[in-house]
């Protein structure tokens, strides 16, 4: 079964395409399961830029009561597409920041999400997911300084206990190659033991995010050396996601990501229901995937 656990329908202001268009595209591409993970960004320094959602073409503050509408729409599609052979789950991608832990906790406790993806996009008010902004943050900093700052937030995100998995673990690489070149590939090593230890002491999983391939990088996120270490450190739950922001990218490079996972020694790919993981794909060393 093919699946995609990282999708941004047009509730995310940086995405296009309705959830129905995504579901239809997934069905046409033969996917068996998808999970919508719209952005929920409450980072104080970026609220004026990111703190919005789009519903039926209208912009609302992320603080307005929009999540019930989002979940109802997913529920409607879930029933409709179940009969057609596509399972649809309700997830969310939340930007971690230490100042908003209480708000994140209230949201994940109030709403019945299947899957909560934690991410670190923002460093000192800069979004490292936006090319110019990432480069502005990196200017004047070494690759090691960027990693130290990024991973200190990732470790907090793991330890806060609010997230099922951490999204695109090496997002800092995506737009900083033009500044650091290959030096960025090893820059995490200074803090890597602490990152592995944080994962080992938690039940937080990891996603393999195929977005890096579309940005011209040779590896997805995390890279193979990182994934091997994470599996070795006992990370037991692994999801795969395209991070599609347009319907035609649903399922993009997922087969390649599953093969990448297998080569790194990861032999299970997971789905989530009501925040609980389940094995969706078992991979063996000879690469026979079975449900
Ligand atoms: Zn993200
Ligand atoms: Zn995303």
Q: How far is the CA of 286 from the centre of ligand 2 (A)?
A: 31
Nearest Cα neighbor of 46 from 115, 123, 143 is 123
> What confidence tens digit (pLDDT) does each residue in 9-18 have?
999 999 999 9
Q: How far is the CA of 36 from the centre of ligand 1 (A)?
A: 13
Q: How far is the CA of 126 from the centre of ligand 1 (A)?
A: 14
Residue 84 near residue 27, CB atoms below 8 Å? yes
Residue 51 near residue 61, CB atoms below 8 Å? yes
Token code pair at residue 160: 């806060």
Give the mean model confidence (pLDDT) for residues 108-120: 98
> What is the pLDDT, as a whole number, of residue 285?
74
> What confidence tens digit (pLDDT) does each residue in 175-185 have?
998 899 999 99
List phi, psi (to 5°) of 43.
Answer: -65, 120
Give the confidence band of 284 by pLDDT, cuts at 50, 70, 90: confident
Q: What is the Cα–Cα distance from 285 to 35, expressed in whole angstroms?
A: 27
Give the least confident one: 54-58, 79-83, 120-124: 54-58
Q: How buried is residue 245: exposed, middle or buried, by Cβ count under 10 Å (0-12/13-18/19+)?
A: middle
> What is the pLDDT, as a whole number, of residue 289?
52
Residue 271 near residue 88, CB atoms below 8 Å? no
Query: Which ligand has the shortest distance to the CA of 119?
Result: 1
Give the mean model confidence (pLDDT) for residues 233-238: 96
Query: Which ligand has the shortest distance to the CA of 241?
Result: 2
* pLDDT of 291 over the 90 cut: no
> What confidence tens digit (pLDDT) does each residue in 58-113 have?
999 999 999 999 999 999 999 999 999 999 999 999 999 999 999 999 999 999 99
Q: How far is the CA of 235 from the centre of ligand 2 (A)?
A: 21
Beta strands in the chain (DSSP E): 2-7, 31-40, 52-55, 58-61, 87-95, 115-119, 122-123, 126-127, 165-166, 205-209, 238-241, 268-273, 276-283, 289-290
Query: Which ligand has the shortest distance to the CA of 36?
Result: 2
Q: How far is the CA of 58 from the centre of ligand 1 (A)?
A: 22
Token code pair at residue 50: 């990111």
* pLDDT of 248 over the 50 cut: yes
* pLDDT of 240 over the 60 cut: yes
Query: Which ligand has the shortest distance to the CA of 249?
Result: 2
Dihedral sign (CA 81, 256, 120, 268) = positive
> What is the pLDDT, as a whole number, of residue 126?
96
Dihedral sign (CA 39, 45, 47, 49) = negative
């Amino acid at each position: 079964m093919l699946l995609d656990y990282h999708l941004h329908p047009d509730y995310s202001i940086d995405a296009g395409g309705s959830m129905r268009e995504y579901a239809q595209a997934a069905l046409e591409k033969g996917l068996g399961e998808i999970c919508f993970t719209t952005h929920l960004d409450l980072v104080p320094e970026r609220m004026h830029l990111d703190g919005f959602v789009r519903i039926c073409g209208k912009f609302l503050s992320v603080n307005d009561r929009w999540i019930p509408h989002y979940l109802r729409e997913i529920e409607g599609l879930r029933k409709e597409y179940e009969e057609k052979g596509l399972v649809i789950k309700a997830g969310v991608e939340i930007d971690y920041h230490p100042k908003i832990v209480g708000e994140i906790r209230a949201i994940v406790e109030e709403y019945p999400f299947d899957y909560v993806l934690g991410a670190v996009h923002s460093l000192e008010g800069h979004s490292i997911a936006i090319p110019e902004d990432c480069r502005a943050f990196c200017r004047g900093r070494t690759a090691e300084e960027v990693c130290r700052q990024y991973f200190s937030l990732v470790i907090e995100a793991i330890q806060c206990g609010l997230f099922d998995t951490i999204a695109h673990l090496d997002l800092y690489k995506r737009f900083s190659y033009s500044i650091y070149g290959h030096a960025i590939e090893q820059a995490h090593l200074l803090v890597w033991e602490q990152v592995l230890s944080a994962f080992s002491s938690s039940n937080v999983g990891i996603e393999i995010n195929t977005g890096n391939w579309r940005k011209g990088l040779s590896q997805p996120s995390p890279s193979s050396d990182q994934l091997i270490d994470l599996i070795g450190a006992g990370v037991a739950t692994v999801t795969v996601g395209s991070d599609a922001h347009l319907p035609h990218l649903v399922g993009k490079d997922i087969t390649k990501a599953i093969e990448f996972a297998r080569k790194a020694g990861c032999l299970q790919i997971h789905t989530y229901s009501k925040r609980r993981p389940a094995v969706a794909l078992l991979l063996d060393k000879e690469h026979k995937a079975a449900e």
